[in-house]
Amino acid sequence: MRRLPAILLIGGLAIAAAGCLTLMPVGSHIERGTDFTRYRTYAWGPADALPVSDQRLRENPFFVDDVHGAIDTELQDRGLRPVTSEPADLLIHYHAAVIGRVEVPSRVGPLRDCVGERCRTEVTEYDAGTLVIDVVDAATQRVIWRGWAEHRLEDMLDDPRQVRRRVRDAVHRMAERLPLTIVGRPSGAVPEVAP
């Protein structure tokens, strides 16, 4: 009898964890007609001219390392080789921003049932972090792939482990949409986060 509550608790935690992962919208765009099989090497392109939009990101000494490390891991696992002394096939750029968002819950039930306090709509304001990764053909300087992810921040910027975990998850989920061969691990495997 004691096993049932433990099983229900574990099942509930698994569902909650799965629910947390789906809260991060991820998308990508691929330049039509691009033959991704011809790319073998990459390098980091110059930083974009867009300012980092949030002081918490600008002052976080680990954020850039977390983003670079996560992107390097995903690209190398997909068969690309980083280069510094020779021309690269691809240039990698990224941009991170924190944007204020407003959430208005949808009304459930007909308006005729709306009486008093039940009619009040609660608006929630929150910060959303957005990470955009561009993969640029170095020869043509055209963006051939762009991935993006957005997630509610909710004070995570004060926790370096949480930042690292969210960055790695976001980059991994975006990279799953990048049409390159995965040679280092099975597709869909989420990288471990070091403590």
Strand partners, 44: 92
For residue 184, give Cα distances in angstroms to 35, 39, 77, 150, 156. Answer: 21, 17, 5, 26, 30
Q: What is the pLDDT of residues 22-51, one digit of tens each?
A: 457 898 998 988 989 899 999 998 776 665
Could you tell me which of 48, 46, 66 has the C-alpha nearest to residue 57? 66
pLDDT at residue 16 greater than cutoff 60: no
Average of per-residue pLDDT values in the chain: 76
Q: Tell the residue number behind the tokens 């407003």, with chain if given.
A: 102
- For residue 177, count other CB atoms closer than 10 A to its CB: 13
Check residue 96 and give its pLDDT. Answer: 86
Q: What is the mean pLDDT of residues 46-62?
A: 68
Give the DSSP per-residue string, 93-162: EEEEEEEEEEE-PPP-S-GGG--GGGGPPPPEEEEEEEEEEEEEETTTTEEEEEEEEEEE-TTGGG-HHH
Check residue 117 and give its pLDDT. Answer: 62
Q: What is the mean pLDDT of residues 7-34?
A: 58
* CATH hierarchy code of domain 25-175: 3.30.160.670
How far, rounded to the nearest angstrom, does the alpha carbon of residue 133 sit from its chain's CA centroid? Answer: 9
pTM recorded for the entire structure: 0.71
Q: Which helix (H) or strand (E) holds 13?
A: helix 3-22
The percent of residues in the chain predicted with pLDDT above 70, rounded, is 65
Instruction: Let me know: does 125 contact 101? Beta carbons within 8 Å.
Output: yes
Q: Can you give the residue ranges of every domain in the chain?
A: 25-175
pLDDT at residue 8 greater than cutoff 60: no
| Residue 71 φ/ψ, nearest 5 degrees | -70, -45
Q: What is the mean pLDDT of residues 118-129?
A: 75
